[in-house]
Amino acid sequence: MLDQHLPPCGYSTVHQLGPAELNLVNDHIHASFYRRIQDAHPDFFRSAAFPDGGLSSYHTWSHVIEHSSLWRKQSRVLSKSFADMFLSSEFIAGLRSNFGYFEISDEEGFGFPNFVWRLVRPYEQSDVGPVHRDSWFWNLNESFPKPAFSFKRIKVWIAINCEKGKSGLSLEPFSQLRSDIRFHRIFDGSIYKPVIDTENSGIVNLILVSTEPGQSILFHDDLLHAGALNMGNETRVSMEFTMLVRVES
């Protein structure tokens, strides 16, 4: 299905954080990152051995902490105070001017908009998720909170620390129109997750969208996408959220 707010290819890179907003988002992500390390590894955090070099160099010492369990999605949702602040940003104002009224989704059921940050270390395949459509998650998990009005979903992905051309988001243009993609579900203990059927689907042709820090990618709910393997020298940091755009019934 085509979306009148997005190009026929299914995604747009028009919107961008200004320098001040990029710095502000980066600061809040780092605060969330350090708070999590401090809570999980207080002795290490307080020790002289703690490498206070920021997230870009996280991959150089991630092996000394419990990485695999530390960064589940619930621990990467930015605070309500951040959400309240960011909803008044120029970036959000620009989205409202293009899309009209929308709310931000709260899949985790926290009671406030979910702005989620993500980190991907260089050459770590385990840090990137499989190919999927966001609509699959919503179709499988009817308990996700929804607004009272009719809506459509548009995902927003923003590069925060990203080496252009070496790391970022990969997607297949026009794939929101495909009907030959199949998937099955697995339960991870809290929600159902979709897994693409590689044997029962057509070939997926992903491309890396070249993005620099502050640049966003807005894309259709049915667009096939995945995090790209980080081929750079720094840990990639991004932020994402889902707009629930009001539509006339």
Q: pLDDT (tens digit, 9 = 90+) per residue, 82-139?
A: 999 999 999 999 999 999 999 999 999 999 999 999 999 999 999 998 999 999 999 9
67: which 2 tokens? Answer: 């990485």
Q: Residue 65's closest CA among 77, 50, 78, 75?
A: 50
3-state helix, strand, coil in the chain (%, to 5): 30, 25, 45
Choice between 247 and 48, residue whose per-residue pLDDT is larger? 247
Count of domains forming the chain: 1
**235 within a domain of the structure (yes/no):** yes
**1 within a domain of the structure (yes/no):** no
Mean pLDDT (whole number) for 136-163: 96
| Domain of residue 66, residue span | 11-246
Q: Residue 115's closest CA among 245, 248, 247, 238?
A: 238
**144 within a domain of the structure (yes/no):** yes
| Model pLDDT, residue 2 | 54
**6 within a domain of the structure (yes/no):** no
C-alpha 222/C-alpha 135 separation (Å) is 6
| Model pLDDT, residue 179 | 95
**240 within a domain of the structure (yes/no):** yes
Look up tokens 């809570």; give the residue: 39
**2 within a domain of the structure (yes/no):** no
Q: What is the dihedral of CA 54, 59, 65, 67, to 10 degrees?
A: 110
| Model pLDDT, residue 22 | 98
Query: Is there a contact between 219 and 158 (Cβ–Cβ < 8 Å)?
Result: no
What's the CATH number where 95 sits?
2.60.120.620
Q: What DSSP element (H or E) covers 82?
A: helix 80-86
Q: What DSSP element (H or E) covers 136?
A: helix 134-140
Strands (E), 144-202: 151-161, 169-171, 183-187, 192-196
Residue type, position 183, single letter: F
Give the Å distances, CA to CA, from 213 to 18, 111, 137: 10, 29, 27
**5 within a domain of the structure (yes/no):** no
Dihedrals phi, psi of 130, to nearest 5 degrees:
-75, 170
| Model pLDDT, residue 59 | 96
Q: Residue 207, SS3? A: strand
**236 within a domain of the structure (yes/no):** yes
DSSP, res 107: T
Query: Is there a contact between 194 and 138 (Cβ–Cβ < 8 Å)?
Result: no
Q: pLDDT (tens digit, 9 = 90+) per residue, 196-226?
A: 998 878 899 999 999 999 999 999 999 999 9
pTM confidence score: 0.95
